């Protein structure tokens, strides 16, 4: 394995960018492996010997259509009619013509066909054809090697900090064996960790990560936690703004989907060795600048991975669009896909989704595991801390009226101990509320993704104002609410709606969860934090009860600033890991005093921050 340099050139190119990867002249053809090399034995017979015997009849011509990005066979009707019978996707509107998508699998099929019906390759396309055949051969060898590879893999020591579970080792082996594929594990099974392990194993730097906006910070934290490059932390740069600029040297670049359109012409020219599309279902709608930018980026990159817990949709157009980004025309063109996989030409509903899923898995394009399949490898309760983005401007606006109280707490020596304690509590509560409001839209984005993945979610928060934002943002999911403002009957009906499957989202106040049995939940999400670990443990146990057959996921969503930093300290939490206090026991007096001490330091931190801004 060759060592990668520590520096990369990410200055914007001064020359005009090419229009796209398919408009660039084909690179010089790379010869296929000689017959005496071991790789030759891995090739199917029809990719080993391609030359027709001397004097063999030529049945037609083969040329490349740049506009349609396909190989065109023009031959006797008997040949093209056979093409259309054997390869339905090759059907064209013209008699005596068949079209084959310029995909490495289809090129291999063409090679097989030409053993029986030799074709004359157009001189202008000869170099392109030789390279296409060479790539088809390389791909066939890789596929055969992948089938023979160990089913489990471990990242190299010193490059990756962490221990993979067996099913994650299987996921790593899958990613290492395939250069363009979709890791479609259910939410909570560690797709991020498996992807980072792949980057570490293959040294695929510089790499670009494209997540939804609310997960950019989490990717940065996870990369710093797990990756090591020659004994040092990776250099991570989060790309901001729609206007391209000279990027600093880094090993990992992170850019959320909404920025892709602004960098559409720039990204394909940068030397990324790998691009990872997190929550790849974001690309299920074609025809947008975001989709076009992702397509150009994918075509320019050596390795392309998609991560998604919801990969197969009933609407064929959506899964076809996602797969098209990962491996162009793997499923053929749109017309042939809808004709063969859907309910007819132009129809966008997949007739047999399970059959399509089996095909994607069999061909090495998708790996999917569910929690049910790997349940024996999972602990009964898993706690994950995930840092989200937040709105700094909203936080600052909400905290501005608190400034006089902060100055009085800091400077008024006449305050009694009791008065100062009451003022501390007021300031701390206002900061908690401002933090919850500032991150609420991003919490809702996270929960929305979980619901779309089929999770049954308990969403915990503390402030009524935050709950009101959840109600507004998530109203299309018809959530239930237990916030302390409801009557006993309303509380019972909300819990019953959730347990009976009439809604998959129940929003519960942190201090109103006692006595509830909500074991239908597969996921617990804390949109806000409490100072007491026991409060969180009690909230988790609303779902983690007798009758819970799943491995329960408990997400603690934290903001990068505001009150969350101090509250993580009080709870024994650090971003992306648990350091302890979350036990199934009441809070001790010592822990309560420690929490109070941290709360006091929280107000001191607020005072320091606000003093610096005045």
Q: Take residue 601 and report the two structure tokens written for it.
A: 């330091």
Strand blocks (E) in 502-613: 505-509, 523-526, 552-558, 573-574, 577-578
**Residues 150-164: what's their mean pLDDT?**
90
User: What pTM was computed for the model?
Assistant: 0.72
- How many residues are there in the chain? 614
- Of 73, 314, 574, the C-alpha closest to 84 is 73
- pLDDT tens-digit series, residues 124-156: 999 999 999 998 888 888 877 777 766 889 999
The more confidently predicted of residues 85 and 367 is 367
Question: How far apart are the C-alpha atoms of 166 and 136, rounded to whole Å?
Answer: 32
3-state secondary structure of 137: helix
Query: 432 vs 404, 450, 465, 531, 540, CA distance in Å?
Result: 17, 25, 11, 10, 21
The more confidently predicted of residues 550 and 188 is 188
How confident is the model at residue 343, as a pLDDT? 85
Question: How far apart are the C-alpha atoms of 196 and 218, rounded to whole Å?
Answer: 13
Q: In the 8-state DSSP scheme, what is residue 261?
A: G
- Of 245, 241, 205, 242, the C-alpha closest to 223 is 205
How confident is the model at residue 613, as a pLDDT? 60
Query: 19 vs 145, 268, 467, CA distance in Å?
Result: 35, 10, 48
- pLDDT tens-digit series, residues 272-309: 999 999 999 899 889 899 999 999 999 999 899 999 98
Q: Take residue 541 and report the two structure tokens written for it.
A: 């146990």
How confident is the model at residue 87, as a pLDDT? 81
- pLDDT tens-digit series, residues 444-453: 999 998 898 8
How confident is the model at residue 330, as a pLDDT? 87
Strand blocks (E) in 207-309: 207-210, 236-238, 252-254, 274-278, 303-307
**Residues 212-227: what's their mean pLDDT?**
91
Q: Take residue 380 and report the two structure tokens written for it.
A: 């009964």
Q: In the 8-state DSSP scheme, what is residue 557?
A: E
> Omega into 314 within 30° of 0, i.e. cis?
no
- pLDDT tens-digit series, residues 14-34: 544 433 333 333 334 444 444
What does the radius of gyration of the chain's CA atoms come to, in whole angstroms? 28
- Of 264, 209, 244, 246, the C-alpha closest to 10 is 246
Mean pLDDT of the chain: 83
Q: Do residues 182 and 321 touch, judged by C-beta distance below 8 A?
A: no
Q: Which range (266-270, 373-377, 503-507) has the least confidence?
A: 373-377
Contacts of 332 (CB under 8 A, 6+ apart): 89, 101, 103, 106, 340
How confident is the model at residue 19, as a pLDDT? 38
Q: Take residue 363 and report the two structure tokens written for it.
A: 């061909």
User: Tokens 């648990």 correspond to what residue?
Assistant: 578
Question: How far apart are the C-alpha atoms of 585 and 563, rounded to whole Å?
Answer: 25
**Residues 172-195: what's their mean pLDDT?**
92
Residue 1 has pLDDT above 50, yes or no: no
What stretch of H or E contains 138? helix 126-148
How confident is the model at residue 545, as a pLDDT? 63
First-to-final CA distance of the chain? 54
What are φ and ψ of residue 574, in 5° steps? -130, 155
């Amino acid at each position: 394995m060759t060592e990668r340099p520590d520096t990369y050139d990410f200055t914007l190119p001064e020359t005009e960018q090419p229009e796209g990867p398919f408009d660039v002249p084909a690179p010089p053809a790379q010869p296929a492996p000689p017959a005496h090399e071991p790789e030759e034995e891995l090739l199917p017979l029809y990719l080993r010997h391609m030359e027709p015997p001397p004097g063999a009849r030529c049945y037609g011509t083969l040329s490349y259509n740049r506009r349609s990005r396909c190989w065109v066979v023009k031959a006797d009707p008997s040949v093209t009619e056979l093409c259309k019978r054997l390869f339905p996707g090759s059907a064209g509107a013209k008699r005596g013509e068949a079209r084959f998508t310029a995909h490495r699998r289809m090129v291999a099929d063409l090679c097989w066909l030409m053993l029986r019906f030799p074709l004359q390759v157009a001189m202008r396309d000869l170099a392109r054809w030789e390279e296409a055949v060479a790539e088809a051969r390389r791909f066939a060898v890789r596929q055969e090697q992948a089938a023979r590879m160990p089913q489990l893999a471990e990242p190299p020591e010193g490059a990756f900090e962490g221990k993979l579970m067996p099913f994650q080792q299987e996921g790593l082996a899958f990613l290492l064996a395939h250069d363009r594929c979709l890791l479609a594990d259910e939410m909570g099974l560690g797709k991020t960790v498996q992807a980072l392990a792949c980057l570490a194993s293959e040294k695929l730097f510089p790499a670009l990560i494209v997540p939804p906006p609310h997960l950019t910070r989490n990717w940065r934290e996870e990369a710093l936690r797990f990756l090591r490059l020659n004994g040092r932390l990776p250099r991570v740069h989060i790309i901001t703004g729609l206007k391209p600029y000279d990027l600093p040297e880094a090993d990992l670049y992170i850019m959320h989907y909404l920025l892709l359109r602004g960098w559409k012409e720039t990204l394909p020219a940068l030397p990324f060795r790998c691009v990872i599309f997190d929550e790849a279902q974001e690309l299920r709608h074609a025809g947008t600048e975001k989709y076009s930018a992702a397509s150009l980026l994918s075509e320019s990159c050596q390795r392309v991975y998609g991560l998604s817990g919801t990969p197969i949709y009933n609407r064929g157009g959506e899964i076809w669009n996602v797969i098209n980004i990962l491996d162009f025309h793997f499923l053929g063109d749109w017309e042939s896909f809808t004709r063969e996989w859907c309910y007819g030409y132009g129809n966008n509903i997949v007739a047999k989704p399970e059959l399509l899923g089996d095909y994607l898995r069999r061909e090495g394009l998708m790996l999917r595991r569910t929690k049910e399949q790997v349940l024996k490898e999972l602990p009964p309760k898993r706690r994950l801390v995930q840092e989200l983005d937040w709105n700094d401007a909203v936080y600052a606006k909400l905290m501005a009226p608190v400034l006089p109280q902060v100055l009085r707490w800091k400077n008024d020596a006449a305050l009694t101990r009791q008065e100062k304690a009451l003022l501390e509590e007021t300031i701390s509560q206002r900061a908690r509320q401002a933090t919850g409001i500032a991150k609420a839209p991003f919490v809702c984005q996270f929960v929305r993704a979980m619901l779309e993945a089929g999770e049954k979610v308990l969403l915990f928060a503390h402030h009524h104002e935050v709950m009101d934002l959840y109600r507004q943002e998530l109203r299309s999911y018809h959530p239930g609410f237990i916030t302390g403002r409801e009557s006993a009957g309303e509380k019972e009906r909300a819990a019953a709606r959730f347990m009976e499957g009439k809604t998959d989202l129940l929003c519960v106040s942190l201090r109103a969860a006692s006595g509830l049995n909500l074991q239908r939940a597969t996921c617990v999400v804390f949109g806000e934090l409490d100072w007491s670990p026991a409060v969180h443990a009690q909230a988790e146990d609303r779902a983690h009860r007798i009758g819970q057959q799943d491995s329960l996921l408990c997400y603690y969503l934290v903001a990068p600033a505001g009150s969350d930093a101090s509250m993580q300290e009080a709870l024994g939490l650090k971003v992306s890991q648990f350091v302890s206090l979350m036990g199934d026991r009441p809070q001790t007096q010592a822990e309560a005093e420690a929490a109070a001490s941290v709360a006091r330091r929280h107000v001191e931190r607020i005072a320091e921050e606000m003093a610096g801004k005045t």
